[in-house]
């Protein structure tokens, strides 16, 4: 029996694809191990130059430490560096962001011919690659990739170049996959994609999909990995207002709270649009958790621009801010911009925004103390039970609970796991 090991770098979409590959290999009789594997698979990331370097080093180190293993490199980094990838990494099978579902065929070909395989596609000319996961072996929240690609071309982002244009999973195939996951015992599913809000299957948009999935008996929660503010259309606002299975949490990337910086980033809204939409969301779903992403130190970001971002984040009152220092991404418009921000200034701004995030997070969590919440228990460790509420408050509970069950509890401050989120 041949053994395998998978290392995933990057986003939830990459995690989904790796989970699919794991399921596929297990189905075909391979055994998963933690080290000394016959086959080592690295699913790479290219979102920043740092991610590129990490992907390259990971591949080469794994090959160096496992000289007899078959090393498979795939994903965004290999796709981005497809022209010179064979010189950059020591891998036996190298593919990009297509054909991950054909990994068994590639392995069979390598076993037969013992020749290096390198295969890439023009990502602007591929269909959605169907994958289906029937069960997650690693956690109770099940992810399903419903969309791939992006058409937005934000000035700092390389992803549209390596993932291609927007394309979506067929509505009926989504329903079948989620139904299978529920039959396998999963009560919560997370819809993910590169640009999830652009989902479109023969005219069925994201809100149509969520409404159809809500009809599945046994499915308790539907969560989105992320959605753009401009994609919260009338259908999605109706979901927020009326769909009880849709959780009380949205992750909506802001990226900057300065209109000047938003324009330079090629984001498709201004702060007024963002604020007005947030007010509408909170009117429809009081108490909803709104988390976000912010990039600090974008080229040309002045102290005034940063203070605008800081003030805007306070004004919105996010429940959490994921803070990223701007990093030049070779091949993007922003990488060619002038007025780059020195590293020490970026570091200082990052710390200020993280401090604000911690303050806002504590304030939001504590607003639910002594209120009734529902928690999905996901793990038991060292006598404590861990899980998340619908609005993504991480809990650490003492008592008697069953894994993968939802409980109503009255929230005590000591129940909040501030170190988990």
Q: Are residues 258 and 313 located together in one domain of the fold?
A: yes
Q: Are residues 234 and 148 located together in one domain of the fold?
A: yes
Residue 110 counted as domain residue = yes
Residue 420 counted as domain residue = no
What is the predicted pLDDT for the residue at 143? 95
Q: Which of residues 91, 121, 151 is at a domain's end?
A: 121
Q: Are residues 76 and 149 located together in one domain of the fold?
A: no
The residue whose two tokens read 């939409």 is: 277
Q: Are residues 49 and 113 located together in one domain of the fold?
A: yes
What is the predicted pLDDT for the residue at 221? 98
Q: Are residues 230 and 336 located together in one domain of the fold?
A: no
What confidence tens digit (pLDDT) does each residue in 76-132 have?
999 999 999 999 999 999 999 999 999 999 999 999 999 999 999 999 999 999 999
Residue 12 counted as domain residue = yes
Q: Which of residues 247, 267, 283 is at a domain's end?
A: 247
Residue 64 counted as domain residue = yes
Q: Which of residues 247, 267, 292 is at a domain's end?
A: 247
Rounded Cα–Cα distance for residues 197 and 256 (Å): 20
Q: Is the pLDDT of residue 421 over 70?
A: no
**Total number of domains constituting the chain:** 4
In angstroms, the Cα distances linking 250 to 15, 148, 195, 245, 281 are 20, 19, 14, 13, 10
Per-residue tokens: 282: 């909170």
Residue 322 counted as domain residue = yes
Please, which pLDDT band fits residue 420 given cuts at 50, 70 and 90? low
Q: Are residues 172 and 258 located together in one domain of the fold?
A: no
Question: Mean of the pLDDT values across residues 220-236?
Answer: 97
Residue 225's domain spans which residues?
123-247
Q: Are residues 260 and 327 located together in one domain of the fold?
A: yes
Q: Are residues 376 and 352 located together in one domain of the fold?
A: no
Q: The domain spanning residue 189 has which CATH number?
A: 3.30.750.210
What is the predicted pLDDT for the residue at 379? 92
What confidence tens digit (pLDDT) does each residue in 158-171 have?
999 999 999 999 99
What is the predicted pLDDT for the residue at 419? 75
Residue 285 counted as domain residue = yes
Q: Are residues 321 and 217 located together in one domain of the fold?
A: no
The residue whose two tokens read 């401009």 is: 230
For the chain, the average pLDDT equals 96
Q: Are residues 313 and 379 located together in one domain of the fold?
A: no
């Amino acid at each position: 029996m041949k053994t395998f090991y998978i290392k995933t770098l990057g986003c939830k979409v990459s995690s989904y694809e790796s989970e699919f590959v794991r399921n596929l290999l297990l189905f075909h009789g391979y055994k998963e191990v933690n080290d000394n594997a016959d086959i080592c698979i690295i699913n790479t990331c290219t979102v920043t130059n740092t991610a590129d370097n990490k992907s390259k080093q990971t591949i080469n180190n794994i090959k160096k430490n496992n000289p007899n293993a078959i090393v498979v490199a795939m994903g965004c980094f290999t796709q981005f560096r497809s022209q010179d990838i064979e010189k950059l990494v020591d891998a036996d099978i190298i593919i990009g962001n297509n054909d991950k579902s054909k990994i068994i065929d590639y392995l069979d070909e390598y076993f037969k011919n013992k020749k290096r395989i390198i295969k890439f596609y023009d990502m602007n000319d591929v269909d959605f690659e169907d994958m289906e996961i029937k069960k997650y072996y690693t956690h109770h929240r099940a992810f399903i990739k419903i969309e791939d690609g992006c058409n937005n071309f934000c000035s700092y982002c390389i992803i549209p170049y390596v993932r291609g244009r927007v394309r979506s999973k067929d509505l009926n195939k989504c329903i079948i996959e989620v139904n299978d996951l529920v039959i396998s015992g999963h009560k919560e599913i997370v819809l993910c994609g590169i640009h999830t809000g652009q989902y479109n299957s023969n005219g069925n948009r994201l809100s149509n999909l969520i409404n159809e999935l809500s009809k599945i008996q046994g499915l308790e929660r539907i969560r989105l990995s992320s959605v753009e503010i401009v994609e919260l259309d009338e259908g999605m606002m109706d979901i927020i207002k009326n769909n009880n299975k849709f959780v009380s949490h949205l992750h909506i990337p802001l990226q900057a709270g300065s209109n000047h910086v938003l324009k330079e980033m090629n984001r498709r809204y201004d702060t007024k649009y963002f604020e007005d939409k947030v007010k509408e969301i909170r009117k429809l779903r009081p108490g909803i958790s709104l988390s976000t992403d912010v990039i600090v130190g974008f080229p040309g970001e002045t102290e005034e621009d940063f203070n605008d971002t800081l003030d805007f984040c306070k004004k919105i009152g996010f429940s959490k801010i994921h803070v990223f220092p701007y990093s030049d991404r070779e091949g993007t418009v922003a990488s060619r911009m002038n007025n780059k921000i020195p590293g020490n200034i970026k570091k200082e701004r990052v710390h200020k925004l993280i401090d604000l995030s911690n303050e806002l997070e504590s304030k939001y969590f504590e607003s639910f103390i002594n209120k009734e919440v529902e928690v999905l228990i996901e793990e038991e460790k060292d006598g404590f039970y861990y899980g998340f509420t619908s609005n993504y408050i991480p809990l650490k509970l003492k008592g008697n609970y069953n894994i993968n069950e939802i409980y109503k509890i009255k929230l005590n401050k000591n129940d909040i796991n501030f170190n988990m989120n």
